[in-house]
């Protein structure tokens, strides 16, 4: 195996945002079953070390490309675009995010109705899906706009995680 392969090459996939996650999972399981350190119990120390290194690399690759947001960031990195900590985003988008946070706070203040929370979550999921579709359409032709979409997706990802935590708390998990 070649340690210089990108994460898509490890799974013998073409570099693309759109991929069949079920197929990716099958390829991951197949590689893991071949590389698992338990299969190298009687191997040399060098072979054991290589097995462990490859299993670790396969795990990392799978974690990155199985997640839409991580895959988008990785694709930009492959094109030389590194995601910034505090990007400059359009003012209207930032205002919308403040309004969404205020809406979530209001849902919490009003006794945290599961119905209102579910509706809010549905809106967040729809926006996320729309931005993922937009990224898929533009990342090959417009890296700057694709980068902005990733920043927007990061906002929605954080908001979605927050909603999930609230939902878990309400349900007693």
How many Cβ atoms sit within 10 Å of the Cβ of residue 16? 13
Task: State the pLDDT at residue 36.
Answer: 76
DSSP state of 89: -
Closest by Cα among 143, 159, 161, 170 to 72: 143
For residue 147, the SS3 value is helix
Average pLDDT, consecutive stretches of 10 residues, N- to C-terminus, the chain (173 residues): 87 96 96 83 85 90 97 97 90 96 86 85 97 97 96 96 86 74
Fold of 7-66: Helix Hairpins (1.10.287)
Q: Which residue in the block uniquely carries the two structure tokens 């960031």?
A: 73
Place of tokens 């979605």: 160
* Domain residue limits, the chain: 7-66, 91-171
CA distance 136 to 95: 25
pTM over the 0.85 mark: yes
| CA 48 – CA 165 distance, rounded (Å) | 40
What CATH class does 91-171 carry?
mainly alpha
- Can you give the pLDDT at residue 76? 97
């Amino acid at each position: 195996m070649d340690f210089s392969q990108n994460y898509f090459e490890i799974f013998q996939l073409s570099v693309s945002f759109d991929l069949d996650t079920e197929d990716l999972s099958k390829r991951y399981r197949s590689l893991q079953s071949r590389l698992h350190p338990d299969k190298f119990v009687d191997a040399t120390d060098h072979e054991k070390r290589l097995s462990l290194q490859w299993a670790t690399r396969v795990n990392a690759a799978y974690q990155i490309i199985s997640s839409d947001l991580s895959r988008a960031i990785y694709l930009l990195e492959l094109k030389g675009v590194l995601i910034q900590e505090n990007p400059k985003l359009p003012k209207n988008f930032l205002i919308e995010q403040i309004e969404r946070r205020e809406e979530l706070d209001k849902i919490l203040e009003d006794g945290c109705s599961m119905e209102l929370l579910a509706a809010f979550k549905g809106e967040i999921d729809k926006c996320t899906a729309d931005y993922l579709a937009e990224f898929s359409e533009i990342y090959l032709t417009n890296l700057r706009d694709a980068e902005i979409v990733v920043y927007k997706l990061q906002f929605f990802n954080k908001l979605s995680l927050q909603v999930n935590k609230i939902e878990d708390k309400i349900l007693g998990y």
